[in-house]
Amino acid sequence: MRRSLYSHSVLCLVLCSAVFTTCGNIALIIYILRSFKGLVPAESTYSYIGYDFPAQLPLQLASVGLSLSDESDGSHFSLKADDEWGTQFPLHDGFTSLGPSNRTFLVSMVHQMHCLDVIRVGFVTNATGYDHHVEHCLRYLRQIILCYADTTLEVDEPGIKDGEMAHAASGVGAIHRCKDWTVLRRYLEAHPSVPFKH
């Protein structure tokens, strides 16, 4: 009888210990999950009123490699190739509408390409009255280049400058890590901005 009472006490102690350990583990898991809740970004909803909108277009773009090619022969995107430069822009000029009230936004990549084209046209035509737009674009592109701070390494191709050896780089062959701009272009063409009501 004593042995059975002892066995029963041990069994009860083991079961209580197992239940207590399980409850402790569950409490620990709940605590850990709750503490991670603030670290994991929640799905945000925006009103698209005032400044209540996302900083970027809510579109995931895969990384792709871009190997810079030598276009110095003038076969592509020369200064005067207006039609070819026009192919760089999506239909509807890259504006898209977002949110319940269809608020219109321009995607920065399109603005950047527009500015590059403005500088090109300003250079080719030497247009007067165009200075303000060209200067805006120069400042804008300078800041965007700083923002992206591309760390791709480009091979030194030393040459002679002012009669002395100098470092130079063309960037040809360097492979840059980029976002897949083709996906962005398809998105913008499929989701144009809502036209103005007359």
Reduce the DSSP state of residue 79 to 3 states and report it.
coil
Domain of 164 in residue numbering reads as: 63-190
Output the six-digit token pair for 62: 């895969």
Instruction: Kindly state whether residue 4 falls inside one of the protein's structural domains.
Output: no
Does 20 map to a domain? no
Question: Mean pLDDT across the stretch 38-43?
Answer: 57
Q: Residue 131 domain-assigned?
A: yes
Residue 50 belongs to a domain: no
Which helix (DSSP H) or strand (DSSP E) does residue 28 occupy?
helix 2-37
177 has a pLDDT exceeding 60: yes
Q: Backbone phi, then psi, for 82, in 5-degree steps?
A: -55, -45
The structure's pTM equals 0.73
Check if the beta carbon of residue 177 is closer than 8 Å to that of residue 67.
Answer: no
Question: Would residue 157 count as lying in a domain?
Answer: yes
Q: How far apart are CA 142 and CA 151, in angstroms?
A: 16
pLDDT at res. 102: 94
181-198: average pLDDT? 91
Predicted pLDDT of residue 49: 94
Q: How many domains does the chain have?
A: 1
What is the pLDDT confidence band of residue 71, given thresholds at 50, 70 and 90? Answer: confident
Q: Is residue 55 part of a domain?
A: no
The amino acid occupying position 112 is Q
CA distance 77 to 149: 24
- Position 172 in a domain: yes
C-alpha torsion sign, points 85, 90, 91, 95: negative
* Inside any domain, residue 8: no
Comparing 186 with 69, the larger pLDDT belongs to 186
- Give the range with max mean pLDDT: 68-77, 81-90, 181-190: 181-190
